[in-house]
Copies of this chain bind each other. A is one copy, B any other.
Amino acid sequence: MGFVVAVVGATGAVGREMLATLEQRKFPVDKLVCLASPRSAGQKVRFQGKDVVVEATTAAAFAGVHIALFSAGAAAAREMGPVAAAAGAVVIDNSSAWRTDPGCPLVVPEVNAAAIKVRPKGIIANPNCSTIQMLVALQPLHKAAKLRHIIVSTYQATSGKGHAAVEDLLEQTRALAAGKEVKPAIFPGQIAQNLLSDWKPDTTPAGEGYSEEEMKMVFETRKILDDESIFVSPTCVRVPVVNGHSESVHAKFERPITVAEAIALLEKAPGVTVDARPYAPGHHPQPVHVSGKDDVFVGRIRKDFGDPNALNLWIVGDNLRKGAALNAVQIAEIVASESRQA
């Protein structure tokens, strides 16, 4: 009664988190197929207490696969996503490859689960980590008061760039502690005790001056909320944190909304934990506390001084879990429930 599940990119930071999440949430896996680039084939990963040997990602590897969770980057997803779909798998892809494709739903289960049903290409896209946690927190407010404009500054963890980026942060930190020169391996400069915008520039005319990461937040917010009239003004910044993205958000709505109303709405919202304590030093969601948790944490909900229709919020989420692996597995759970209903 279970499923044959493939994890593509099983040796990466998000791939490993996908395996852990499938296990923790007791996803009905009859057979697990772990795939990666030829370079990583032969490595072993752990699942349900056993070693699983990683195979190279080939068309043949998808035979009999019901659900394929991809976290192998955009190029691999563009090439192998349709191959997996043609072999009969429902593809859930964590890369940016299919997010803008009108034939692929872009889904945060708490926000737009219904979109999963319409997937003419057999591919469902998992949004960008920064967008996911922002929308889990803002959608309950949007439903009540209609979002008009989101001004967001991010404080993004190094794990969002993968294992090697975390190692780069830690190695740079050790070098500084030893009084040695910092030699960046993955980042385009010093990230230890520093801040970087390290994402590629967006190359569309609309995105002049913006990074790809920032333009993802603009485009994906509109697609997921199915509302082209919402504006997003993003500034994406990498901070020397291992895991857990934070966001400072100024959200402007169509009508006035009070702090009390926002807290009440968020306390009922799925996937959200509200920190409604009065402000005091350290009384707010923090990356080190949120890392390893499923929920998106929202705190520091404050009225705005300039605009009665706006609120300021502080949103923290585990970028590898809800920002990637958990969101993908939640989509897989909905796909799995469809098959059982059919």
Interface residues of A (CB under 8 A from B): 148-149, 151, 153, 155, 170, 173-174, 177, 187-190, 193-201, 206, 208-211, 218, 231-233, 235, 237, 239-242, 246, 248, 250, 259, 278-282, 284, 286-288, 300-307, 310, 312, 314
Contact = CB atoms under 8 A, between A and B. Distances in A.
B218 A233 contact: no
A174 to B, nearest CB: 6
Given A195-B241, A209-B301, A211-B279, 6 more contacts: A148-B306, A155-B237, A187-B282, A218-B305, A232-B306, A237-B248
Contacts of A284: 197
A246 B195 contact: yes
B193 A314 contact: no
Contacts of A194: 241, 286-288
Contact of A281 (B198, B242, B248): B198
A148 B305 CA distance: 12
Contacts of A288: 190, 193-194
B209 A303 contact: yes
Given A211-B279, A250-B250, A306 B233 contact: yes
Given A286-B194, A286-B195, A209 B306 contact: no
Contacts of A196: 281-282, 286
Contact of A231 (B209, B302, B305): B305
18 contacts: A153-B248, A155-B239, A188-B282, A189-B282, A189-B286, A190-B286, A190-B288, A195-B239, A195-B241, A195-B246, A196-B282, A197-B279, A209-B279, A231-B306, A233-B306, A233-B307, A235-B312, A237-B248
A287 B149 CA distance: 29
Nearest to A250: B151
A233 B252 CA distance: 12
A4 to B, nearest CB: 39
A46 to B, nearest CB: 22
A333 to B, nearest CB: 31
Contacts of A286: 189-190, 194-196
A282 B198 contact: yes
A173 B169 CA distance: 12
B314 A188 contact: no
Nearest to A200: B281
Given A195-B287, A301-B209, A235 B149 contact: no
Nearest to A206: B305
A112 B282 CA distance: 35
A302 B303 CA distance: 26
A195 to B, nearest CB: 6
A183 B313 CA distance: 28
Contacts of A149: 306-307
